[in-house]
Structure 1
Amino acid sequence: MKKSDFNYSLPPELIAQKPLAERSASRLLHLERHNGRIKDCQFSDFLSLLQPNDLLVFNDTKVIPARLFGHKTSGGKVEILIERIESENQVIAHLRASKSPKPDAMIRLTDDIECRVLERVDDLFRLQFQAPCPLLELLEQIGHMPLPPYIDRADDQNDAERYQTVFANRAGAVAAPTAGLHFDQATMQRIQQLGIRHCFVTLHVGSGTFQPVRVDDLQQHVMHKEYFQVSEACVAAIKQTQARAGRVIAIGTTAVRALESASTTGELQPGSGDTQLFITPGYRFNTVNGMLTNFHLPESTLLMLVSAFAGYDNVMQAYRHAVQHRYRFFSYGDAMVIL
């Protein structure tokens, strides 16, 4: 298939610029995977769609305040978007400036905090911070939430809470696992009360999730790297679910990529590392049976993954339905469940 096969028309006003007042107030489009049937629901209906032996798999990554603003010694403005933390004071980052800084250039963030450009790494830069506190603490003090490029506003205090899942635990993402944003504390408590089994994986979502596919031939696309971890406890829970003929339902495309990256031998194994798994139609899923996801950008790798799971025609029909019925799109938008 070609990149252009995954284009669709989206009115700009359907791109959600802010979250709803309540996390669980979103709409939910229910797509039946094998026959393409569509039903309009509310997210509050999600738990009622589950079966007794199902297992929910959440991504517990935590978004870091990865956007920083500073100045070069010449006075020019610099915007830093951290892509990955390599050590306590070293990162790989995107830099936006009128002219790209050279190695050894200094970027001043505050009166007593600056960073040095060590080297260029393809389109990114390796930076070393010089600060009186650990990097994560520094980011909490002066960093901004890295809202996606299609949200056309500066971040505010509300984003510090709402662009983060209520179960976020392991710091390292620079974009939210957005399907998880619909779950509030009351929903998580309800999951416990109902005895619905669940476990957690980790995939630190990178800003590459928003990068466009630049080649029309999908076989030529190089997927960005993201760190993932699947624990022995999660593998055991999934194997118990499979033994009971239950469904493994991934909460978000990031949970899908973590699970399928740990299943490349055909059988799920515990492990961790970087993944560049690019899932397109024709891919054979080894672990995941169901998925909750948001609506994704045209021609994006995420839309391609969802199409691989539910069928290209089914997904494109569902997206046309969502546009026609004025669903809210992207990170702060509504959800779709595929079962």
Structure 2
Amino acid sequence: MNRSELLFDRPTDLFASVPPEMRGHDRDDVRLMVSTPEVDAHHSFTELPGLLEPGDLLVVNESATLPASLPAASRLGNIRLNLSTRFADDLWLAEPRWSPSKPGPLPLKEHEILQIGEAKAVLLQQYPGIPRLWFARLDTPASRLMAKYGEPIHYNYAPAYPMSNYQTIFSRFPGSVEMPSAARPITAHVRDMLRSRGIGIVGVILHTGVSSLEIEDETVEHQALYPEVFRVPEATANAVNGTHARGGRVIAVGTTVVRALETAWTPNGLRACSGATGLYIHPGNGVHVIDGLLTGLHDPVTSHLAMLSAVAGLDRVKKAYGEAIRNRYLWHEFGDSHLLWRQDAN
């Protein structure tokens, strides 16, 4: 697939800049577009339980979001250092940025020192194939730096809000540097309606890194991705396997969940496992575990959009995104939701 196939035009006024609850609404007061292989249908998010069947299973990400954007002083001036993937509390993959609205890569060098308050971060080397990311060694534990200086990672379409706005009702295990936002509209009310209808909810953990990278290689399948730490518990693996055995459908709540589940897939079913995954899901390798994906609306020419194309097919995704733009759906973590059924789902 050529990267140009993932390109689309979208008005910037469709970027959701304010959480619904800060506009006087509930979190679940967003729209939901449902895309089957044949048609796109428009709903409110609170209709989700009625759109699923008893015996279906939702898999959510239980990772909680960290205040992972740190102010840093460099020879270039004041910048931001956005932590991405933790290898140890003092060793991270990180993204130096000019500002929330202006990304890199910055003209930095190996062994360059960034000052974070009284602490130092040494840039060791760039991540292979992704020059905007660096391995960084901290002389102070990142947990202490985030507690003292950190704020949520955010970009030019929205200011930084209090950390509570970047958590979901399933957030239990701190580790994500950006919110696994697909579950954000699932309120306690929606969760209880799902359960009362006989729809199961189980969890995985995948600690997200910085936002989905724009695909730079002309061939989508050749793009390099960075690793993310994940865990699929035994109870979740058993629930997924049992759901499929009974003829139910498995719906991943977010692209992070897809990556975790597909990493744990074997021809004999899902297995419990943990570690760091570098799996890149695109139309060339497809998906095996999930029947549907509940997610937000994603940027053009990104690895997330490549994943959606693996789930529903490129033509279907492009038609759905055209429909979303025509109906003025809102993008990003505070925006509207999208449920895509797999091309060959029941």
Same fold flag (TM > 0.5): yes
Secondary structure of 2:20's aligned partner: coil
Distance 1:141 1:185, change over 3 A: farther
- Identity among equivalent pairs (%): 29
> Which residue of structure 2 lines up, in the alignment, with residue 166 of structure 1?
169
> Which residue of structure 1 lines up, in the alignment, with residue 320 of structure 2?
318
The equivalent position to 1:100 in structure 2, one of 99, 108, 116, is 108
> Which residue of structure 2 lines up, in the alignment, with residue 206 of structure 1?
209
Distance 1:75 1:26 in 2: 41
1:274-299, Cα deviation, whole Å (9 max, x unpaired): 22222222534221011111111111
Written as runs of structure 1 = structure 2, the 5 A alignment for 1:173-322 is 173-207=176-210, 209-265=211-267, 267-322=269-324
Deviation at 1:195, TM superposition (A): 4.0
Unaligned runs of 5+ in 1: none
> Which residue of structure 1 lines up, in the alignment, with residue 147 of structure 2?
140
Contact 1:250–1:256 under 8 Å retained in 2: yes
Contact 2:66–2:175 under 8 Å retained in 1: yes
Written as runs of structure 1 = structure 2, the 5 A alignment for 1:21-60 is 21=21, 22-32=26-36, 34=37, 36-60=38-62
Distance 1:299 1:264 in 2: 29
Deviation at 1:173, TM superposition (A): 1.3
Amino acid at match of 1:127: A
Deviation at 1:229, TM superposition (A): 1.3
Distance 1:338 1:102, change over 3 A: closer
Distance 1:96 1:302, change over 3 A: closer
Match status 1:9 vs 2:9? yes
Distance 2:110 2:309 in 1: 42
Match status 1:120 vs 2:125? yes
Deviation at 1:176, TM superposition (A): 1.6
Contact 2:15–2:332 under 8 Å retained in 1: yes
Amino acid at match of 1:28: L
Secondary structure of 2:276's aligned partner: strand
- What TM-score do you get using the length of structure 1 for normalisation? 0.89
Distance 1:85 1:284 in 2: 28
Contact 1:115–1:127 under 8 Å retained in 2: no
Written as runs of structure 1 = structure 2, the 5 A alignment for 1:319-334 is 319-334=321-336
Q: How many residues align?
A: 326
Contact 1:62–1:176 under 8 Å retained in 2: yes
Match status 1:63 vs 2:65? yes
Contact 1:172–1:204 under 8 Å retained in 2: yes
Distance 2:126 2:42 in 1: 46
Distance 1:222 1:88 in 2: 24
**Range with greater deviation from structure 2 (222-231 or 189-198):** 189-198
Amino acid at match of 2:111: P
Deviation at 1:266, TM superposition (A): 5.8
Deviation at 1:75, TM superposition (A): 8.8
Amino acid at match of 1:229: R
1:155-207, Cα deviation, whole Å (9 max, x unpaired): 132xx112221211122211222211111233233334444211101111111
Amino acid at match of 1:86: F
Distance 1:314 1:127, change over 3 A: closer
> Which residue of structure 1 lines up, in the alignment, with residue 116 of structure 2?
109
Q: CA RMSD in A?
A: 2.1
**Range with greater deviation from structure 2 (180-189 or 58-67):** 180-189
Distance 2:313 2:40 in 1: 13
Deviation at 1:320, TM superposition (A): 0.6
Distance 1:286 1:166, change over 3 A: same
Unaligned runs of 5+ in 2: 99-105, 342-346
Deviation at 1:137, TM superposition (A): 4.3
**Range with greater deviation from structure 2 (176-185 or 280-289):** 280-289
